[in-house]
Amino acid sequence: MKMNIQFSLNGKSISRDVPTHRLLLDLLRDEIGVTGTKEGCGTGDCGACTVFLNGKPVNSCLVLSGELDGAEIVTIEGLKIGPELHPIQKTFLQDGGAQCGYCTPGMLMMSKALLDENPNPSEEEIRFALAGNLCRCTGYAKIVQAVQDAAALLRNR
């Protein structure tokens, strides 16, 4: 069954006729062609597909398109501030927080969610907040460092 949904994606309004069972992840990637958001497991276990839905981070592989009418969605493509990298993107780059980079979009979105709520997280709080985002390359040390450095950048802005 198809339905018409209207929503905002990275600040732009979008209107689409979509099958109600189409997952938000597939809608973004295959129908709209916004491919920065990645699929790692399809079961909500790895966090690679994390996007913001109405201001909260969600696994887009677990959200059905039928729920999206009127929603506000922000993906990795909406993270930059104008032409500038967001501080969390800058520190991931500078600290080596990305190796293969496949988990990185989800990791960045979840990091932003953490820093929105808690501008000065302890290492323990970072590790707790990002525990649902799996990375197989880095061993996480440089990701933790990047989140800490981004928090400092944001606080000093």
Partner 1 sequence: MAKAETFSVVGQRVQRIEGFEKVTGDSKFIADIFLPGMLVGKVLRSPFPHARIRHIDISKAERLPGVRAVVTAEDTIKRPWGAFFADQYILSVGKARYVGEEVAAVAAIDPDIAEEAVDLIEIDWEPLPGVFDAEEAMKDGAPLVHDDKPNNIAMTLDIERGNIAQAFAESDVIVEDTFQSMPQWHCSIETIGSVAEYAPSGKYTIYMNTQTLFNARYRIAAALGVPETDARIIQSAVGGGFGGKSCDDNNALVAAVLARKARKPVKLINTREEEFLAGCRPRVYMKINVKLGFKKDGRIRAKQVKVIADNGAYSAKAPAITGVAAMRHDTCYKYTDVKTEAKLVYTNKVPTGAFRGFGNPSAEWAVEQAIDLGAHELGIDPIEIARINAAESGYVSPHGNRVTSCELKQCLDMAEKMIGWKTKRANKAPNTGLGLACTVHVSGKRHFGDYDGSSATIKLNEDGKALILSGEGECGQGAHTAMCQIAAEELGIRVEDVEISRADTDLTTFCLGAFASRLTYVSGNAVKNAATNVKRQLFEQAAEMLEANLEDLISRDGRVFVKGAEGKSVTVADVARARLFRHNGAPIVGSGSFDADSVLPDSTRFGNESGAYNYGVQAAEVHVDPETGQVRVLNFVIASDCGTVIYPMGAEGQVEGGLAQGIGYALTEGLQFDEGRPVNPNFSDYRIPSMRDMPPLKYAFADSYEPTGPFGAKGLGELNMDPTAAVINNAIFDAVGVRVKNLPITPEKILKALRDKEKKG
Task: Pick between residue 36 and residue 68 the one whose CB is nearest to partner 1.
Answer: 36
Query: Distances from the Cα of 131 to the Cαs of 24, 46, 68, 88, 111, in angstroms?
Result: 22, 9, 27, 17, 11
Closest separation in Å from C-beta 137 to partner 1:
5
- How far apart CA 44 and CA 63 sit, in angstroms, is 10
Task: Pick between residue 70 and residue 100 the one whose CB is nearest to partner 1.
Answer: 100
Closest separation in Å from C-beta 23 to partner 1:
11
Type of residue numbered 81: I
Closest separation in Å from C-beta 102 to partner 1:
3
Kind and range of the H or E run holding 149? helix 141-155
Cβ neighbors of 35 (< 8 A, separation 6 or more) are: 28, 29
Task: Pick between residue 70 and residue 128 the one whose CB is nearest to partner 1.
Answer: 128
Give the tokens for residue 15.
């209107």
Q: What is the DSSP letter of 34?
A: -
Report the interface residues with partner 1, using CB under 8 A: 19, 26, 29, 33, 35-43, 45-46, 48, 75-77, 79-80, 85, 89-90, 92-105, 108, 126-128, 130-144
Task: Pick between residue 21 and residue 70 the one whose CB is nearest to partner 1.
Answer: 21
Task: Pick between residue 65 and residue 70 the one whose CB is nearest to partner 1.
Answer: 65
Taking each helix axis from N to C end, the angle separating 87-95 and 141-155, rounded to the nearest 10 degrees, works out to 140
Closest separation in Å from C-beta 44 to partner 1:
8
Closest separation in Å from C-beta 47 to partner 1:
9
Kind and range of the H or E run holding 151? helix 141-155
